[in-house]
Amino acid sequence: MGDESVFDELKEECGVFGIIGHPDAARLTYYGLHALQHRGQESAGMVATGGTGFRYHRSMGLVHEVFNGEILKGLVGDTAIGHVRYSTSGESLLTNAQPLVFHHGAVGQLALATNGNLINADRLKKELESRGAVFHTTSDTEVIAHLIVQSGASCLEEAVIEALNQLVGAYALLILTNDQLLVAQDPHGLRPLSMGMLGDSYVFSSETCAFDVIGAEPLRTVEPGELLILDLKGKEELRSLPFAEPAPRAVCSFEYIYFARPDSDIDGINVHAARKRLGGELYREAPVEADVVTGVPDSSTSAAIGFAEAAGIPYELGLIKNRYVARTFIQPSQHLREQGVKMKLSAVRKVVEGKRVVIIDDSLVRGTTSRRIVRMLKEAGAREVHVRISSPPVRHSCFYGIDTSDRTQLIAAQHSVEEIREIIGADSLSFLSEEGLIRAVGRTPEQGNCGHCLACFNGKYPTAIEEELPQVAEGKSR
Ligand code: AMP
Ligand code: SF4
């Protein structure tokens, strides 16, 4: 198996939402998933229960395409979990759409929705298959389900704890049965997962922006290594069990840099405000004389505003995005990706003509976007184009569910900053430093790196990886 196929199987990033004990559970989950749409546009799904059996619906497409009023009416029950999925490879299959639903003699009905990626999924899958498990999907989530149902534990929560302790990787996980909702966060807290309250109902979401949309109050982050157990019949209060030894916190830096919605808070830090600070820090580290600052819409807008503010240079809309073209990364081939960028962005000639332009992008992965944009700005008459990236160079692959690609495609893994500047045709190019990133996000100093995962920048993975991913140990992809 070549590196390509290994990476194709690894890619998975998603959003999860759940609510317990609310008469409008399905409708609220629909709105929650809609707010999380940026985390996954390939498929959406929902499972609802009133305690006597599941109703569920999953399909390929955007949330508003997957559900309609009739379908939501059929999702009867006061508890629901939902999922949006994003995939970049040949796994675009309905069978992989979540939540995954299982029927098991001892456990009964079981639905799982996860955001993240397991590093040891292949090994666990082989072991489970050797014990008779039959897999219907290529999703890591099914591995978790089989671990739960194959456990010899006497109750569900023990089976779940046993299963979680075998997982290596990133996961924000919701598990629903007809009796309980269980919510878990991996021991490093790699993917965001928050708890909120709507009236008397607990709500869970990958991002807090979904709470605002439904009028829920954010309560707190689901802690790394924490399992929350909620009883559907309201017999018991919410219980919190630590299921693993505390590990150093390692929240994905890319959530702050690019992935999360600007109106979300991660561990109490607003994403837009953090991005503005990233821009300000970037100016202090790599100042440049220029006439206008602009950002690659929409994900770099906050950082561009922060850079402009710190520099005292006007922020302008130098690039306009056509909102009706999906994110460039979703295009499967390089050729299509390049076409996608062309379709997606246009330069505003009147803003850039004859000017020295600073263009801020939140990240540089393959270099495709920057190369296109520099050319576009120059074609629109920009006199100079200075590229500033509000994150460090991505030199290592992510194994935790963000598609930062195979190492051979990472431009900064193959080239120096000066070489990249030449390739993208910019007059100057600078990246934010790791220290600048940590300072700007402003997490409290839990550890030396303030509880960030920075592995795609520095190759220091928070979990063990060599054992599970031999291609990494051989240095082919890292
Ligand atoms: P590239 O064009 O390959 O250099 O990728 C960088 C661009 O893609 C930036 O404009 C980012 O906003 C965006 N980006 C970064 N990471 C991701 C990701 N995981 N999925 C989709 N887009 C991304
Ligand atoms: Fe996020 Fe990078 Fe860590 Fe992946 S490797 S979880 S993208 S910080």
* Shared-domain flag, residues 213 and 281: no
* 84 Cα distance to chain centroid: 11
Would 435 be classed as within a structural domain? yes
Evaluate if residue 92 carries a pLDDT over 90: no
Query: What mean pLDDT is predicted for residues 170-183?
Result: 97
Q: How far is CA 238 from CA 96, 182, 184, 203, in A?
A: 30, 10, 13, 12
Evaluate if residue 151 carries a pLDDT over 60: yes
Six-digit token pair at 353? 């003509």
Question: Binding-site residues, please?
Answer: 252, 299, 361-362, 398, 453, 456
Which bound ligand lies closest to the C-alpha atom of 409?
A: 1
Percentage of the chain surpassing pLDDT 90?
76
Query: What mean pLDDT is predicted for residues 176-184?
Result: 97
* Shared-domain flag, residues 277 and 407: yes
Beta carbons of 367 and 423 less than 8 angstroms apart: yes
* 122 CA → ligand 1 middle, Å: 27
Query: One of 14, 155, 209, 450 is an active-site residue; which one?
Result: 14
Structurally, how many domains does the chain consist of? 2
Would 401 be classed as within a structural domain? yes
Q: How far is CA 192 from CA 1, 224, 428, in A?
A: 32, 10, 34
Q: Give the chain's end-to-end CA distance (angstroms, integer).
A: 17
Q: Of 8-22, 187-201, 293-307, 407-421, which range is least confident? A: 8-22
Q: What is the pLDDT of residue 478?
A: 38
Query: Which pTM was predicted?
Result: 0.92
Would 1 be classed as within a structural domain? no
Evaluate if residue 7 carries a pLDDT over 50: no
Would 468 be classed as within a structural domain? no
Six-digit token pair at 459? 């190759």
| 8-state DSSP, 395 | -
- Count Cβ atoms within 10 A of the Cβ of residue 70 and give its class: 0-12 exposed, 13-18 middle, 19 or more buried: exposed
* 36 CA → ligand 1 middle, Å: 18
Q: Which helix (H) or strand (E) holds 369?
A: helix 368-379
d(CA 286, CA 428): 10
Would 472 be classed as within a structural domain? no
HSE, side-chain direction, 13 A CA sphere, residue 196: 29
Q: Which of 214, 247, 280 is the last residue of a domain?
A: 247
Q: What domain range includes position 335? A: 270-324+331-444
Which bound ligand lies closest to the C-alpha atom of 403?
A: 1
Q: What is the pLDDT of residue 94?
A: 84
At 88, the pLDDT band (50, 70, 90 cuts) reads: very low
* Shared-domain flag, residues 236 and 279: no
Residue listed under structure tokens 């949006």: 84
* Shared-domain flag, residues 306 and 211: no
* 129 CA → ligand 2 middle, Å: 30
Which bound ligand lies closest to the C-alpha atom of 169?
A: 2
Six-digit token pair at 437? 């990133």
Evaluate if residue 403 carries a pLDDT over 90: no
Would 478 be classed as within a structural domain? no
Contacts (Cβ under 8 Å, ≥6 apart) of 105 = none
Q: Which residue has the higher pLDDT, 105 or 198?
A: 198
Q: What is the pLDDT of residue 324?
A: 73
Q: Which residue has the higher pLDDT, 139 or 403?
A: 139
pLDDT in tens, 249-266: 999 999 999 999 999 999
Average confidence score pLDDT of the chain: 90
User: Residues lining ligand 2, judged by CB closer than 6 Å?
Assistant: 190, 252-254, 398, 400, 402, 404, 453-456
Q: Known catalytic residue: 14?
A: yes
Would 213 be classed as within a structural domain? yes
From 188, 329, 362, 400, mutation site for ligand 2 pocket: most ligand atoms within 8 A of C-beta: 400
Evaluate if residue 16 carries a pLDDT over 90: yes
* Shared-domain flag, residues 42 and 162: yes
Give the three-state DSSP class for 13: strand
Which residue's alpha carbon is at the smallest distance from atom 1 of ligand 2? 252
* Shared-domain flag, residues 224 and 279: no
Residue listed under structure tokens 């194994």: 399
Bridge-partner residues for 56, per DSSP?
47
d(CA 144, CA 171): 10
* Shared-domain flag, residues 242 and 196: yes
d(CA 296, CA 300): 5
Q: What is the pLDDT of residue 333?
A: 60
* Shared-domain flag, residues 18 and 56: yes
**Strand extents, DSSP E, 42-152:** 43-49, 54-60, 79-86, 100-104, 108-118
d(CA 366, CA 435): 23
Would 341 be classed as within a structural domain? yes
* Shared-domain flag, residues 74 and 153: yes
pLDDT in tens, 97-137: 899 999 887 779 999 999 999 999 999 999 999 998 899 88
* Shared-domain flag, residues 188 and 289: no
d(CA 410, CA 367): 8
* Shared-domain flag, residues 288 and 168: no
pLDDT in tens, 207-226: 999 999 999 999 999 999 99
At 397, the pLDDT band (50, 70, 90 cuts) reads: very high
Q: Please state, as a whole number, how many other Cβ atoms lie within 10 Å of the Cβ of residue 134.
A: 8
Nearest-CA neighbor of 452 among 186, 173, 189? 189
Q: What is the pLDDT of residue 449?
A: 85
Evaluate if residue 78 carries a pLDDT over 90: yes
d(CA 405, CA 397): 6
CATH classification at residue 349: 3.40.50.2020
Query: What mean pLDDT is predicted for residues 40-59?
Result: 95
Q: What is the pLDDT of residue 273?
A: 98
User: Residues lining ligand 1, judged by CB closer than 6 Å?
Assistant: 258, 296, 299, 327, 329, 361-370, 402-404
* 365 CA → ligand 1 middle, Å: 6
Residue listed under structure tokens 């569900």: 156
Q: How far is CA 158 from CA 99, 122, 154, 477, in A?
A: 21, 23, 7, 37
Which residue's alpha carbon is at the smallest distance from atom 6 of ligand 2? 252
Q: What is the pLDDT of residue 338?
A: 59
Contacts (Cβ under 8 Å, ≥6 apart) of 36 = 15, 16, 17, 84, 205, 206, 207, 209, 210
Q: Of 233-242, 285-294, 376-385, which range is least confident? A: 233-242
At 152, the pLDDT band (50, 70, 90 cuts) reads: confident
CATH classification at residue 113: 3.60.20.10
At 477, the pLDDT band (50, 70, 90 cuts) reads: very low
Beta carbons of 30 and 53 less than 8 angstroms apart: no
Nearest ligand 2 atom, CA 191 = 6
Percentage of the chain surpassing pLDDT 70?
88
Evaluate if residue 425 carries a pLDDT over 50: yes
* Shared-domain flag, residues 76 and 111: yes
Query: What mean pLDDT is predicted for residues 170-175?
Result: 97
Q: Which of 215, 247, 279 is the last residue of a domain?
A: 247
Question: Binding-site residues for [4Fe-4S] cluster, please?
Answer: 252, 398, 453, 456
Query: What mean pLDDT is predicted for residues 448-458?
Result: 93
Bridge-partner residues for 58, per DSSP?
45
Nearest ligand 1 atom, CA 402 = 19
Question: Binding-site residues for Mg(2+), please?
Answer: 299, 361-362
Residue listed under structure tokens 């979540």: 98
Evaluate if residue 4 carries a pLDDT over 50: no
pLDDT in tens, 293-341: 999 999 999 999 999 999 999 999 999 987 776 544 444 466 665 555 5
Q: Which residue has the higher pLDDT, 151 or 416?
A: 416
Q: What is the pLDDT of residue 138?
A: 85
